[in-house]
Amino acid sequence: MLSIDGDILIFIQENIRNSICDPIFKTITHLGDAGIFWILLTLVLLCFKKTRKAGVYSAIALVGSVVVNNLILKNLVNRTRPYEVVEGLKCIVSPAHDASFPSGHTGASFASATAMFRQLPKKAAVALIILAALIAFSRLYIGIHYPTDVLGGLVTGIGIGILVNVIADRVCKSGKGEAEKEQEALG
């Protein structure tokens, strides 16, 4: 699998990278640095009653992504970055100082976007999924992650986003049920 991962990265470097796309994908990848875009979006959404639920779901998903991807899986797997192993691969951003698997940028992006998907208008939700996909691809483009790192982040991110929706919806539903029962008892 390592050979296929490396071959894909070399293919991207030799056939897709170019002087026009390099600054675009560097910018896209930096949107995911420390989850900054997703954190800022979450904070904005939390400010407005109409979007607060999406902000809360995103916040929970981002915390879940950090715990699962950055604290547990990266330390458990401890995979070396591809530019340190794949012969001829050049990383076009500053080297990372943590483990490679899974992609934290991809995990956070998909966790947040998935958690918010049902809470936002469809056009906005689809735009966020597209941005998450672009951030994921950017990690391959710049040469900082293996394809399986990105796939791992995608799977954990979507899983966390769905889990947040399922659990939060149940908590909200049971909370509403209790509030309605109290209201009926008073009224």
CA distance 169 to 7: 42
Q: What is the mean pLDDT of the chain?
A: 93
d(C-alpha 90, C-alpha 70), whole Å: 24
Greatest Cα pair distance in the chain: 74
CATH number at 146 reads: 1.10.606.20
Confidence of residue 184 (pLDDT cuts 50, 70, 90): low
Total domains, the chain: 1
pLDDT single digits (tens) 13-27: 999 999 999 999 999
* Domain that includes residue 99, residue range: 2-186
pLDDT at position 2 is 64
What confidence category does residue 173 fall into, taking pLDDT thresholds of 50, 70 and 90? confident
